[in-house]
Amino acid sequence: MTKILIVDDEQSQRDSLAGFLKKISYDVTTADSAQTALAYMHNNPVDIVLSDYKMPYMTGADLLQEVKSRHPSVVLVLITAFGTVDIAVNAMKAGAWDFLSKPVDLDQLEELLKNIEDHLSARQQINQESTQVSEVEFDNFIAKDPIMLKVLEQATRVAGSQATILITGETGVGKEVLADFIHEHSPRSKKAMVAVNCAALPSHLIESELFGHEKGAFTGATAARAGRFEEAHEGTLFLDEIGDLPLEMQTKLLRFLQNGEFQRIGQNKILKSDVRILAATNVDLEHAVEIGEFREDLYYRLNVINLHIPPLRDRQTDIKILAEFFLSKFTERENRKDIIFSKETIKHLRSHSFPGNVRELGNMIERAVLLTTGSEIMPLDIPIQGGKLNLQGGGNLKDSVGNLEADLISKTLAESGGNQSECARRLGISERVMRYKLQKYKLK
């Protein structure tokens, strides 16, 4: 039975929460101060602490710091009648699982505790199995490099929880592949994983795409349509390129993450969806927060668990096995199974910086299979110049446009003598956007 410790200096609040939690079969203890709570936890293990934020002598924030130091496995949720965005963000930064406002919505609290229990159960199972990295079975995920194996091990550990996961990494590293991996290893694997590319949707259609709309809600809405949150009910919703989500939609996504509720466009009825959120981005969201392009409170809601996929150039061991995987895939498709790599070709591939990562490698091998006339793929079949692939066209449109934008900014910055304000003026963009672009393309 899950053990919960309620900490509040007001007896009526303690008794009210304790009575409710005991009715739904939790093992509950109460404490009238943070000091009393710490003394109790010294000799009595607990799983979850529900603590008031504003208490005399030692606040809930102080208690959070002590619990994280002394009992790192304990999950702590802060509760207050004086909630502000700043307090919530700071609490999440400090390691609180969540932040609830008084009066506590008991249905919301019960759902929150179920999610925490799922997380604790998955963590306990992993600890019991004592899985070693070299022994973990990763199905069809192609990885051998120790860095990537560590990421996959972490993904396996958190897949069974309900926690929101933020996957970060450069374009083409395989963020959606990892999201699919997490979904397939989660309790939701029998339901759908619905993927949405936030950057690919026009801003005026994003709300309809995510939350749906009613007939006649706007011009062209000739029929009611369910959104992606409804489609992913009891499954997983993968929000790719979350950094490109407009600020207005960030607010609505935050509201959903807080209570699981949303509305279709043109409908007043409140809808609910049981969805596990996975998000991904190739931009620095912390920097986007600094320049006002991304909500700070949403960032900490999404970044409960962060899995960073390193670029392919830092995973030298994976280049060979991924190249062989793509070779097998494309030679079978083209009925040219006699083709192999020369030894020099693998060395040639390892000398490349792969700005497009795994996606670029796959395109390179596909091109070589289609164009080579011999039985071996030689270095000349995969032309690389100056660390970049020498191709006339082709490739992903967004990546190509991004490369052109980066080149233009770099050239204009040089012509401006390194003056960012002058560079922004010449490009016709604000200095804030300029700083964001410089960070995005790693130009400083």
Q: Is the pLDDT of residue 142 over 60?
A: yes
Q: Quick one: pLDDT at residue 326?
A: 92
For 140-308, which CATH superfamily applies?
P-loop containing nucleotide triphosphate hydrolases (3.40.50.300)
Burial group, residue 63, by CB count within 10 angstroms (0-12, 13-18, 19+): buried
Contact 53, 87 (CB under 8 A): yes
Q: Is the pLDDT of residue 436 over 90?
A: no
* Verdict on whether the full-model pTM lies above 0.95: no
CATH architecture of 312-389: Orthogonal Bundle (1.10)
Length of the chain: 444
Cα–Cα distance measured from residue 137 to residue 131, given in angstroms and rounded to the nearest whole number? 10
Cα–Cα distance measured from residue 57 to residue 184, given in angstroms and rounded to the nearest whole number? 47
Render the burial of 262-271: b for 16+ CB within 10 Å, e for the rest: bbbeeeeeeb
Mean pLDDT of the region 232-240: 94
Domain 3-127 has CATH 3.40.50.2300: yes
Cα–Cα distance measured from residue 132 to residue 256, given in angstroms and rounded to the nearest whole number? 37
Q: Quick one: pLDDT at residue 182?
A: 93
Q: Could you tell me the two tokens for 351?
A: 């000398």
Q: Quick one: pLDDT at residue 138?
A: 53
Q: How confident is the model at residue 386 (pLDDT cuts 50, 70, 90)?
A: very low
Q: Is the pLDDT of residue 410 over 60?
A: yes
Q: Please tell me whether the peptide bond between 45 and the residue prior to it is cis, using omega within 30 degrees of 0.
A: no
Q: Is the pLDDT of residue 4 over 70?
A: yes
Comparing 126-130, 182-186, 194-198, 211-215, the range with the smallest average pLDDT is 126-130
Residues 6+ apart with CB under 8 A from 54: 60, 80, 81, 82
Residues 6+ apart with CB under 8 A from 421: 431
The CATH topology of domain 398-440 is: Arc Repressor Mutant, subunit A (1.10.10)
Mean pLDDT of the region 38-59: 92
Domain boundaries, the chain: 3-127, 140-308, 312-389, 398-440
Q: Could you tell me the two tokens for 374?
A: 């011999």
Mean pLDDT of the region 291-301: 91
Mean pLDDT of the region 326-341: 88
Q: How confident is the model at residue 134 (pLDDT cuts 50, 70, 90)?
A: very low
Radius of gyration of the chain (CA): 25
Instruction: Provide the H-helix boundaries in 185-335.
Output: 203-211, 228-231, 247-259, 285-290, 296-302, 316-333
Q: Is the pLDDT of residue 178 over 70?
A: yes
Identical fold, 3-127 and 140-308? yes
Q: How confident is the model at residue 202 (pLDDT cuts 50, 70, 90)?
A: confident
H or E, element range at 3: strand 3-7
H or E, element range at 103: none
